[in-house]
Structure 1
Amino acid sequence: MCGIIGYIGNRSAIPILVSGLMRLEYRGYDSAGLALSVRGSLKVHKAAGKLFRLKSILPKRSGGKIGIGHTRWATHGAPTDINAHPHLSADGKTAVVHNGIVENAAELRSLLEDEGVEFVSETDTELLAHLIARETDASLEQRVGKALALVQGTYGIAVIHCDESDRIVVARHGSPIIIGVGDREMLVASDIAALVRYTQQVVHLDDGEIATLDAKGFRTMTMDAQPIPKSPSTVSWQDDAYERGEYAHYMRKEIFEQPAAIARTLSGRIEDRFHTAHLGGLNLEASDLRDIKRVKLLGCGSAFYAGVAGAHFIESLARIPASAEPAAEFRYRNPVIERDTLHVAISQSGETLDTLMAIQEVRRSGGPVLGIVNVVGSSIAREAEGGIYMHAGPEVSVASTKAYTCSLVALVLLALHLGRMRDLSIERGSNLIEALKRLPDDIESALATEDSLRDLAQRHARCSSAFYIGRGTGFAVALEGAQKLKEISYIHAEAYPSSELKHGPLALVGPELPTFMVMPHGAMLEKSIVSLEEVKARKGPVIALTHPGDARIARRADSVIEIPHTDDLLAPVVMAIPLQLFAYHCALALGRDIDQPRNLAKSVTVE
Structure 2
Amino acid sequence: MCGITARVGTGAAIGELLSGLRNLEYRGYDSAGVATVTPDGINVVKHQGEIDVLCDAIDQSSVRGTTGIGHTRWSTHGPPTDANAHPHTDCLGQVAVVHNGIIDNYAELKDELSAHEFTSDTDTEVIPHLLEEFLSAGYGPEEAFRRTVDQLSGSYAIAAVFEGTDTVFGTRSGSPLVLGRASDAYYLASDVPAFLEYTDEVAYLHDGDVVAMHPDGYTITDTDGNSVDRPFETIDWDPNDAGKGGFDHYMLKEIYEQPAALRQAIRGRADPLEGRVEFEELPEDAFAGIDTVHLVAMGTSYHAALYATTLLSDRGIPAHAFLSGEYGSNPPPVDDSTLVIAVTQSGETADTLSAIRSIQGTGAHTLALTNVVGSTITRECENTVYIRAGPEIGVAATKSFSSQVATLILLSERLSYDTNGGTPRESSDLLSSLAALPDDVQRILDEPTAESVAATYHDADSYFFIGRGIAHPVALEGALKFKEITYDHAEGFSAAELKHGPLALVTANTPVFAVFTGRDDTKTLHNVKEVRARDAPIIAVTADRDTKVDDYADHVLRIPDTHHDVAGILANVQLQLVSYMAADMLSRPIDKPRNLAKSVTVE
Instruction: Compute the displacement of 1:63 (Å).
Output: 3.6
The amino acid of 2:543's aligned partner reads: H
The amino acid of 2:514's aligned partner reads: M
Contact 1:297 1:325 in 2 (8 A): yes
Contact 2:430 2:563 in 1 (8 A): yes
Contact 2:2 2:72 in 1 (8 A): yes
Could you say if the C-alpha distance between residues 272 and 555 of structure 1 is closer, same or farther in structure 2, counting changes exceeding 3 Å? Answer: closer
Pair 1:322 & 2:323 matched: no
Query: Which residue is 1:544 aligned to?
Result: 540
Provide, for residues 132-163 of structure 1, a one-character-per-residue CA deviation record: whole Å limited to 9, x for no partner.
11113223222122112221111000011103
Provide, for residues 222-255 of structure 1, a one-character-per-residue CA deviation record: whole Å limited to 9, x for no partner.
2231221222111111211112122111111110
Instruction: Compute the displacement of 1:420 (Å).
Output: 2.0
In structure 1, distance between residues paired with 2:258 and 2:549: 28
Query: Which residue is 1:11 aligned to?
Result: 11
Instruction: Compute the displacement of 1:271 (Å).
Output: 3.1
Pair 1:446 & 2:447 matched: no
Q: Secondary structure at the match of 1:343?
A: strand
Instruction: Compute the displacement of 1:274 (Å).
Output: 3.7
Query: Which residue is 1:460 aligned to?
Result: 457
Contact 2:513 2:540 in 1 (8 A): yes
Provide, for residues 172-218 of structure 1, a one-character-per-residue CA deviation record: whole Å limited to 9, x for no partner.
00011111112142111111001211111111111111111111211
In structure 2, distance between residues paired with 1:270 and 1:9: 45
Q: Cα RMSD between the aligned structures?
A: 1.5
Query: Which residue is 2:130 aligned to?
Result: 131
Instruction: Compute the displacement of 1:59 (Å).
Output: 4.3
Corresponding residue to 1:569 among 559, 565, 568: 565
Instruction: Report matched runs for 1:299-448 at 5 Å.
Output: 299-317=297-315, 319-423=316-420, 426=424, 428-448=426-446
Instruction: Compute the displacement of 1:449 (Å).
Output: 4.7
The amino acid of 1:94's aligned partner reads: V
Instruction: Compute the displacement of 1:103 (Å).
Output: 1.2
Instruction: Report matched runs for 1:500-511 at 5 Å.
Output: 500-511=497-508
Instruction: Report matched runs for 1:248-327 at 5 Å.
Output: 248-272=248-272, 274-283=274-283, 285-286=284-285, 288-317=286-315, 319-327=316-324
Q: Secondary structure at the match of 2:122?
A: coil
Could you say if the C-alpha distance between residues 363 and 477 of structure 1 is closer, same or farther in structure 2, counting changes exceeding 3 Å? Answer: same
The amino acid of 1:96's aligned partner reads: V
Contact 1:12 1:62 in 2 (8 A): no
Provide, for residues 376-418 of structure 1, a one-character-per-residue CA deviation record: whole Å limited to 9, x for no partner.
1111122222121111111111000000100001100100111
Q: Secondary structure at the match of 2:328?
A: helix
Instruction: Compute the displacement of 1:337 (Å).
Output: 2.7
In structure 2, distance between residues paired with 1:431 and 1:549: 17
In structure 2, distance between residues paired with 1:336 and 1:207: 28
Pair 1:476 & 2:473 matched: yes
Contact 2:506 2:534 in 1 (8 A): yes
Contact 2:331 2:358 in 1 (8 A): no
Query: Which residue is 2:162 aligned to?
Result: 161
Query: Which residue is 2:87 aligned to?
Result: 86
Contact 1:261 1:391 in 2 (8 A): yes
Instruction: Report matched runs for 1:574-585 at 5 Å.
Output: 574-585=570-581
Provide, for residues 428-459 of structure 1, a one-character-per-residue CA deviation record: whole Å limited to 9, x for no partner.
22221111111111111222452x21011011
Q: Secondary structure at the match of 2:397?
A: coil
Instruction: Compute the displacement of 1:273 (Å).
Output: 6.0
Contact 2:272 2:427 in 1 (8 A): no
Could you say if the C-alpha distance between residues 111 and 40 of structure 1 is closer, same or farther in structure 2, counting changes exceeding 3 Å? Answer: same
In structure 2, distance between residues paired with 1:58 and 1:225: 37
Instruction: Report matched runs for 1:111-190 at 5 Å.
Output: 111-113=112-114, 116-135=115-134, 136-163=137-164, 165-190=165-190
In structure 2, distance between residues paired with 1:364 and 1:280: 27
Q: Secondary structure at the match of 1:513?
A: coil
Equivalent pairs, count: 599
The amino acid of 1:577's aligned partner reads: V
Contact 1:420 1:429 in 2 (8 A): no
Percent identity, aligned pairs only?
39
Could you say if the C-alpha distance between residues 146 and 365 of structure 1 is closer, same or farther in structure 2, counting changes exceeding 3 Å? Answer: farther
The amino acid of 1:122's aligned partner reads: D
Contact 2:417 2:425 in 1 (8 A): no
Provide, for residues 96-152 of structure 1, a one-character-per-residue CA deviation record: whole Å limited to 9, x for no partner.
000000111211111111xx1121011111111101111132232221221122211
In structure 2, distance between residues paired with 1:518 and 1:346: 24
Unaligned stretches of 5+ residues in structure 1: none
Q: Secondary structure at the match of 1:516?
A: strand
Contact 2:272 2:429 in 1 (8 A): no
Contact 1:97 1:159 in 2 (8 A): yes
Could you say if the C-alpha distance between residues 223 and 38 of structure 1 is closer, same or farther in structure 2, counting changes exceeding 3 Å? Answer: same
Contact 2:307 2:470 in 1 (8 A): yes
Provide, for residues 491-530 of structure 1, a one-character-per-residue CA deviation record: whole Å limited to 9, x for no partner.
11111111111111111111011111112223x1111111
Using the size of structure 2 for normalisation, the TM-score is 0.97
Q: Secondary structure at the match of 1:290?
A: coil
Q: Secondary structure at the match of 2:155?
A: strand
Provide, for residues 240-285 of structure 1, a one-character-per-residue CA deviation record: whole Å limited to 9, x for no partner.
11121221111111101111110010111113564211112124x4
Q: Secondary structure at the match of 1:486?
A: helix
Contact 1:362 1:369 in 2 (8 A): no
In structure 2, distance between residues paired with 1:110 and 1:577: 53
The amino acid of 2:84's aligned partner reads: N
Higher helix proportion (structure 1 or 2) = 1
Could you say if the C-alpha distance between residues 197 and 529 of structure 1 is closer, same or farther in structure 2, counting changes exceeding 3 Å? Answer: same
Q: Secondary structure at the match of 2:394?
A: coil
In structure 2, distance between residues paired with 1:483 and 1:457: 16
Q: Secondary structure at the match of 2:29?
A: coil
Instruction: Compute the displacement of 1:171 (Å).
Output: 0.4
In structure 2, distance between residues paired with 1:272 and 1:552: 31
Contact 1:468 1:482 in 2 (8 A): yes
In structure 1, distance between residues paired with 2:72 and 2:387: 27
In structure 1, distance between residues paired with 2:296 and 2:21: 31
Instruction: Report matched runs for 1:96-107 at 5 Å.
Output: 96-107=97-108
In structure 2, distance between residues paired with 1:324 and 1:81: 42
Contact 1:251 1:399 in 2 (8 A): yes
Using the size of structure 1 for normalisation, the TM-score is 0.96
Pair 1:22 & 2:22 matched: yes
Q: Secondary structure at the match of 1:137?
A: coil
In structure 2, distance between residues paired with 1:55 and 1:203: 29
Instruction: Compute the displacement of 1:426 (Å).
Output: 4.6
Contact 1:157 1:171 in 2 (8 A): yes
The amino acid of 2:577's aligned partner reads: L
Q: Secondary structure at the match of 1:569?
A: helix
In structure 1, distance between residues paired with 2:23 and 2:387: 21
